[in-house]
Chains A and B, each alone.
Chain A
Amino acid sequence: MSLYAFIRSDQGRTVPFVAQNDKNKELLEMSVEDALIRMGDEKPIHYIQQLNRDSARMGEEMVKYGRLLDKSNRRISKFFLCTDCHNLQKESADPSNESPEAVIKYGMEHHLPFLPGSTFYGMYNKRHWYNGDYQKKYGDLVRPSKDSLVNAIQLCATQCSQGREMTDWEIRCVLHYYKSLEYRIGDLFFRKDEVNKLQKMLTGNNAGAIKLIKTKYHEANKATFGTSKIPEIANYQPKLENGEYIYTNGCLHCHSVNREITNFDLGDNKLSYKFLNGKLYAYNQFSISHITRYGTYAVNGRKQYMPQYSMENMSDEQLLDLIHFIKTKAEE
């Protein structure tokens, strides 16, 4: 336990843990789960004691390409890949702050897609999935998935990606891939006073240390669905660069003509901007605010659908940024 010497000279600033010596370097690479279990925390249902690199590689192939590259299994979905909606990297500098503002700032710095799904980085460390308003969308289907990552993966395969049920070994491989993307101690941000507090706790108060570590990331991502109304925020000046980033790295992530994810193609061109600008106030799926907040649903003959951005994935301010960008480009 003495390994947990979180040392930073910064006065009260939130900073990631930085190794000071070889021993601490080992600690830096230690997974958050291992650390918690060493302190006596309860193992999760999907606990994996030892990462199997080969299984993780197969899981990675299914996540990125929808099937194994040697084609020894069937495609999970012919409509979507996991990476159409989920990033595989950290989406914010500080895992305890995954606000839309933090995500867009980090995403712009690292050129990440701006997607409606939660990142798979740290997904292994969550304890609850399909939270909040997802029950409004999927009803009772989310109940078995709320506390089980295995069931959440299955729900994502069959409902979100409109694909087939995954077999046990496929889910196991994806779990191993998730484990390879779990949080490391070095990913978490501690203040200096917390470091001192944690050091004291570690000598005799493991429960307190567990609690403190768990404040450094989210065990569940909230989901609040908005309405199709264009937000009204007094005195808010929309940011053009944010809007451009969301359009390019969000909308075009799926709607670029060469992506073949959706049948509705958009581009960085006048025709697209004028079309979207003309539909801004419509109450249908071509209206930016409507489609962003409501998405669409899969129906027979048209399984491709658009998932909505929850308020936790795109703030009202960012929605205004996006609308402002489209309006500006259409009127140029």
Chain B
Amino acid sequence: MKTLYVTLLALLCLSPAFGQDSSKVKSPAVADSAKVLAPLVYETFSGTRVLCNHSTEMLPKRQMEFIVAHKFGDILTRNAAGNIAPNITDWFGFDNLADVRIAFEYGITDNLNIGLGRSKGVGVTRQVVDAYGKYRIFQQRESGMPFSLAYVSSLILPYAKATTDSTSVSSYPRFIHRFTFTNQFLISRKFGERFSLQINAGYNHRNFVAYNDVNGVLFAGISSRLRVTKNIGVIVEYNHQFLRPEEVVHYNPLSFGIELLTGGHSFIIGYSNAQGLNENIFIPGTTSNWLDGQFRIGFSITRRFKV
């Protein structure tokens, strides 16, 4: 895995041949400024999220985005004989909502975004308020700057009533135990007009975990987008956890999706083994396995407003 990440990082940094064609600049005004700095590369991804995790894309200053996202129950299940079969009982998961999230995000500047969301939550983590701040440190240029780099810091606060079972992670002896934090760096590059790649790495910290689990989880991921047409793209997103105890049931979230862009709106329909919609939940909290048919359909709708 380490070799894979090193190779991908090298690919991101050392592939000017696949970069944007600076000869496409037509406007003389832009051409003049290109003498100083090459034009920026835009639309590496269609929105501020690749699928569920953040992307290096930012909301421009004074723009707000409204996001509604859903994930349903397992499409497949194991029948009485132990074989994987369609989950007819829950109508392919539609009758068993895994998570739902409503959020608003806002561009304070072109390179600084904040967001506030509310989701149902997954497992014992219920009634979740989430917030994040994202800062883009570099933006890819047609020449000179081969990639975009962003830093995201987010947290969740589940405010469901604490259980009286002191062995449960939702017993929350102190208020501070409710918090989970994720800090990650995102590095992305757009290769030509169709293909984009992002690598992320970060640290997730849950203040209160099961006795056999660890509070801190290091993770790294890879995401990609392929634009089939101007308005349709295919997305894949994967995050890998490191140093998680074997005895704790956990799987690494792997998602595939199709995005449909209509100008101002974007619809993303995806399949994922992760139930959660926030990185603080789906990175450490995925307990579903693709190979057991435990994957689900999900979708998100975003709408941008000028404020």
Contact = CB atoms under 8 A, between A and B. Distances in A.
Interface in A251-288: 252, 257-258, 260, 262-265, 267-272, 274-275
B35 interface: no
Interface stretch (B24-32, B115-123, B167-175): B24-32
Contacts of A136: none
A200 interface: no
A268 B26 contact: yes
Given A78-B306, A79-B306, A270-B193, A275 B231 contact: yes
B126 interface: no
A83 interface: no
A111 interface: yes
Nearest to B31: A111
A203 to B, nearest CB: 47
A71 B29 CA distance: 26
A262 B227 CA distance: 21
A173 B63 CA distance: 29
Interface string B24-55: 10111100000000001011000000000000
Contacts of B26: 244, 248, 252, 268
B264 interface: yes
Interface string A286-314: 00000000000000001110000000000
B232 to A, nearest CB: 10
B24 A265 contact: no
Nearest to A80: B306
B263 A262 contact: yes
A264 B306 CA distance: 14
Interface in B260-307: 263-264, 304, 306-307
Interface residues of B, number: 22
B28 A302 contact: no
Contacts of A263: 263-264, 304
A78 B263 contact: no
Contacts of B194: 271
A274 B264 contact: no
Contact of B227 (A78, A264, A268, A271): A271
Nearest to A79: B306
B216 interface: no
Nearest to A264: B263
A244 to B, nearest CB: 8
Contacts of B63: 260
Contacts of A304: 306
B41 to A, nearest CB: 10
B230 interface: yes
A14 to B, nearest CB: 28
- The residue in B28, B230, B304, B306 that gathers the most chain A C-beta atoms within 10 A of its C-beta is B230
23 contacts: A78-B62, A78-B307, A111-B29, A249-B27, A252-B26, A257-B42, A258-B42, A260-B60, A262-B263, A264-B264, A265-B43, A265-B263, A267-B193, A268-B26, A270-B193, A271-B230, A272-B230, A274-B229, A275-B229, A275-B230, A275-B231, A303-B306, A304-B306
4 shortest A-B CB distances, which residue pairs? A263-B264, A264-B263, A275-B230, A257-B42
Interface of B: 24, 26-29, 40, 42-43, 60, 62-63, 193-194, 227, 229-231, 263-264, 304, 306-307
Interface of A: 78-79, 111, 244, 248-249, 252, 257-258, 260, 262-265, 267-272, 274-275, 302-304
